[in-house]
Amino acid sequence: MANHKSSLKRIRSNRLRKLRNRYFSKTMRNAIKEFRGLTDKAVAGEQLPKIVSLIDKNAKRSVIHKNKAANLKSKLTKKLNALA
Question: 57 lies in a domain?
Answer: yes
Q: The domain containing residue 39 runs over which residues?
A: 26-82
Number of folded domains that form the chain: 1
Question: 5 lies in a domain?
Answer: no
**pTM for this model (two decimals):** 0.86
Collapsing DSSP to helix, strand or coil, 40 comes out as coil
Dihedral over Cα of 18, 20, 25, 27: its sign: positive
Question: 16 lies in a domain?
Answer: no
User: Cα-flanking dihedrals φ and ψ of residue 8, to 5°?
Assistant: -65, -40
Question: 3 lies in a domain?
Answer: no
Per-position pLDDT tens, the chain of length 84: 778 999 999 999 999 999 999 999 999 999 999 999 999 999 999 999 999 999 999 999 999 999 999 999 999 999 999 997
Question: 75 lies in a domain?
Answer: yes
3-state helix, strand, coil in the chain (%, to 5): 80, 0, 20
Question: 46 lies in a domain?
Answer: yes
